[in-house]
Structure 1
Amino acid sequence: MITVAEVQALIQQRITPLTARESVPLGQALGLVCASNIVSEIDIPPHANSAMDGFAVAAADLATQSTLAVSQRIPAGVAPAPLVRGTAARIFTGGEIPAGADAVVIQENCDYDEERVTVLQSVSPGANIRPQGQDIAQGAIVVTQGKRLNAIDLSLLASVGRAELDVFRPLRVAILSTGDELVDPGQPLKPGQIYNSNRVLLACLCRQMGYQVIETRCVADTLAHTTSALLDAAASADVILSSGGVSVGEEDHVRPAVEATGELELWKVQMKPGKPVAFGRVADTPFLGLPGNPVSAFVVFQLLATVLLRARQGQTSTSLVAMKVVADFSRPVTTREDYLRVQLVSTANGQTVARPFANMSSGVMSSLSWADGLVRQPIDQAINVGDTVDFLPIREAML
């Protein structure tokens, strides 16, 4: 068995990003991955403007006089005339600074009417002015290649005038569920059967990441059916995910099927939950086999499948980022890297601590609905109350 970090590194080494790209309107790019560095063709702001309502002045004029004639009025969106020396321009937030002015006196520090202003407090050059290009300079990279585009990214692109952009074509993901015991929701349950929750889980997680789920199928527990389903998926998918069938039982056919149709690089990871994991390829399509227990499937998806999918999509950021929290529980030494479902709660003294779910069974899916995230317990280390531990937020993944 190898560690989670080693598997993540192996996946990143083995996965070749897709290069297919398409041009999309800005409003349709949410959640897609930018296919090239996007450079601003303009400065933002495009001209120096006022940060406050007040009066634009030449600061040096105030050294000899405090009362100035008001020579013009500059609301936002109006091109001003050059400032006449010895005068002030009435200006509003966002208004363009006229040539000849180098400061803005805020209106609260003035006595004024429509014709004259008396400045009650002097200002230095640059006061209350947003310089041209303060936010984004012409020629600066606004969004980098490999960035998954969020609302803020799209707002930035709109601010520099981009109406469309090149993105990587969204991944096509095939999802297979193995097990004769699985029944689709809505169907009657016979003895020994359970409803297939993993197919819904994995499909929804992939769609939340911006990918296209092109196939979801239940696969009968035979080597022939498993092999056929994998080859069918490889013919049209960019990535294949499966759940179940990756252990070593007589009815677990994923491992031999992958070995027969491609290459299996690993099938055990030193983690809990989620020890049985299969990574490799079917024909030339990357494959990841997740455990069948629902909590295990979710944890492996967050820690390993996301790395594979993001790397295949061409994203530069591929892994969950851990935060530091304080443990409000104790756990003995573990021989596998353990991922514990926890909630963050505030104590009476105002400290935020992590408290675990009562039942850490890998079949208790309700624990994930309850949890804010996972606490990582390293191999061969105990956790004691008050210890600082790694916390992986997963609440966003379940929205």
Structure 2
Amino acid sequence: MAQLSNDSFAFGGPLMSIEQAAALVGERVQPVAETQTVALAEADGRVLAEEVVAGLDLPPFANSAVDGYAVRFADLAPDGESRLALVGRIAAGSDAAGVATEGVAVRVFTGAPMPAGADTVFMQEDVTEEDGFVRLPSGLKPGANARPAGEDIARGEIAFAAGQRLRPQDLALLAGLGRTSVLVCRKPRVAIFSTGDELAEPGQPLPAAGIYDANRAALRAMVQRAGAEVVDLGILRDEPQSLAARLAEAAQDSDLILTSGGVSTGEEDHVKAAVESAGSLVFWRIGIKPGRPVAMGVIGGTPFIGLPGNPVAVFVTFAFVARAVIARLSGTQYKPPVPLPVRLGFPYRKKEGRREYVRVSLAPGADGIIVASKHPQDGAGVMTSLTRTDGLVELAEELTKIEEGRIVPFLAYDLLTA
């Protein structure tokens, strides 16, 4: 577990952009050092801890890409149709050794090894067989429909760099290279908890002035989707001394402590005092809405993030701040999601110097261009504004008055929770 100094998250600038926040995380948080060897079947979503070099050519031998007829291009007539004797038949998995190719055609099937000397394959639907010969049309290019050894990746070529988060397509390549296991970084352990005397666990009786704890359910899922292991500390009550003790205890066995709510300056916001008692705390004034200053700190050498208390603000600040921290701890490079352009279906006003994310639903316009419609309720506590929309449009810092019809960036929720 990386040990940070108490001033690791100090920031002396004015309002911080999301990009600055991600850059500071990259500078000041160190990846988890421990590694594990896992079976390929269990490696989806894990981060490689070592470079993977191809140990063989892929494909390992030249083969046919189609069902057809393999020939030497040099044996074809320079102009017009060619007529060659049909000799031999090679199926996928068969041995092509000793099959003659000079001046003849060989019947081959998809994946079958190319006989020595053959370099071009005619598709079967383009060829006519007659009396032991084949008639081959003109116009095919040399090398057509033939896959050379190493076409996909060559022996000795770097298949993956360390830090790659493995996806299904990556596992396919590793399997194709004959790998059965990989060395990966240990998943970061992220301790999450909620605070407040008003909170109740779902399924339990709801007090007269109580609400069910919704944020922790979202954080559990988002932390897991970010590739980390959840240490769920449940609900902590507004007791400053026990809060400080629980935070210090969590720091001993986790790589990140994550909370929502309780870090403002109100009289009942006890998390702020508890963090300062157990370690250090600074507020990052990130220019983002929904959201407000994100609390960053260090407790016993372990980084701490205090997110806002409203569910929508929790979702947005986790997506753009906490995910960058978890990516860094996981040993991979944080890659901001790439937005897609949509047409704004409503006018909007905002303050300059702050990036705003507006919850929208998408539908095709009359001309086929996708139009974003704003959810009618945009309060940071309205959870249905997330469940009944498709994603967020991103309105840049310099904008103040945005006209309907403007093309703006759109981020689907799937991109923010991948």
TM-score over 0.5 for the alignment?
yes
Q: What is the identity, as a one-letter code, of the residue corresponding to 1:292?
A: G
* Higher deviation after alignment, 114-123 or 350-359: 114-123
Q: What is the identity, as a one-letter code, of the residue corresponding to 1:50?
A: S
Partner of 1:6: 20
SS of the residue corresponding to residue 368 of structure 1 reads helix
Partner of 1:295: 312
Partner of 2:52: 38
Structure 2, unpaired ranges of 5+:
1-14
Tell me the distance in 1 between the aligned counterparts of 2:241 and 2:141.
81
Partner of 1:321: 338
Structure 1 residue corresponding to 2:62, chosen from 17, 32, 48: 48
Partner of 1:74: 90
Structure 1 position 167 matched with structure 2 position 184: yes
Structure 1 position 395 matched with structure 2 position 392: no
Partner of 1:253: 270
Tell me the distance in 1 between the aligned counterparts of 2:240 and 2:381.
25
Tell me the distance in 1 between the aligned counterparts of 2:25 and 2:139.
62
Structure 1, unpaired ranges of 5+:
none
Aligned pairs for 1:1-399 (under 5 A) are 1-63=15-77, 66-80=82-96, 81-112=98-129, 115-121=132-138, 123-335=140-352, 336-381=354-399, 382-395=401-414
* Higher deviation after alignment, 289-298 or 371-380: 371-380
Residues 183-228 of structure 1 deviation map (CA, whole Å, 9 limit, x = unaligned): 0001111122100011111011112233211233211113212211
Q: CA RMSD in A?
A: 1.9
Shift of 1:26: 0.3
SS of the residue corresponding to residue 350 of structure 2 reads coil
Tell me the distance in 2 between the aligned counterparts of 1:358 and 1:340.
11
SS of the residue corresponding to residue 411 of structure 2 reads strand
Tell me the distance in 2 between the aligned counterparts of 1:322 and 1:223.
42
Tell me the distance in 1 between the aligned counterparts of 2:151 and 2:244.
58
Partner of 2:5: none
* Higher deviation after alignment, 30-39 or 311-320: 311-320
Q: What is the identity, as a one-letter code, of the residue corresponding to 1:35?
A: A
SS of the residue corresponding to residue 296 of structure 1 reads helix
Tell me the distance in 2 between the aligned counterparts of 1:114 and 1:39.
49
Residues 335-393 of structure 1 deviation map (CA, whole Å, 9 limit, x = unaligned): 43211111221112211021111111000011111222111222341221122222222
In structure 2, relative to structure 1, the CA distance for the partners of 1:306 and 1:398 (3 Å cut) is: closer
Tell me the distance in 2 between the aligned counterparts of 1:268 and 1:66.
75
In structure 2, relative to structure 1, the CA distance for the partners of 1:331 and 1:317 (3 Å cut) is: same
1:33 and 1:313 in contact (8 A); partners too: yes
Tell me the distance in 2 between the aligned counterparts of 1:369 and 1:147.
31
Residues 124-152 of structure 1 deviation map (CA, whole Å, 9 limit, x = unaligned): 42122112111111112222211211111
In structure 2, relative to structure 1, the CA distance for the partners of 1:120 and 1:269 (3 Å cut) is: closer
Shift of 1:76: 1.1
Tell me the distance in 2 between the aligned counterparts of 1:37 and 1:329.
48
Tell me the distance in 2 between the aligned counterparts of 1:261 and 1:131.
62
Normalising by structure 2, what TM-score? 0.91
Shift of 1:175: 0.2
Shift of 1:317: 3.1
Tell me the distance in 2 between the aligned counterparts of 1:333 and 1:210.
34
Shift of 1:323: 2.6
Identity %: 42
Tell me the distance in 1 between the aligned counterparts of 2:380 and 2:66.
57
Residues 36-55 of structure 1 deviation map (CA, whole Å, 9 limit, x = unaligned): 12111111111111122111
Tell me the distance in 1 between the aligned counterparts of 2:255 and 2:69.
60
1:371 and 1:395 in contact (8 A); partners too: no
Runs of 4 or more, structure 1, over 6 Å off, are none
1:222 and 1:251 in contact (8 A); partners too: no
Tell me the distance in 2 between the aligned counterparts of 1:36 and 1:114.
58
Tell me the distance in 2 between the aligned counterparts of 1:16 and 1:367.
35
Tell me the distance in 2 between the aligned counterparts of 1:62 and 1:269.
69
Tell me the distance in 2 between the aligned counterparts of 1:188 and 1:293.
22
* Higher deviation after alignment, 172-181 or 84-93: 84-93
Q: What is the identity, as a one-letter code, of the residue corresponding to 2:59?
A: P
SS of the residue corresponding to residue 299 of structure 1 reads helix
Shift of 1:172: 0.8
Normalising by structure 1, what TM-score? 0.95
In structure 2, relative to structure 1, the CA distance for the partners of 1:220 and 1:114 (3 Å cut) is: farther
Shift of 1:255: 2.2
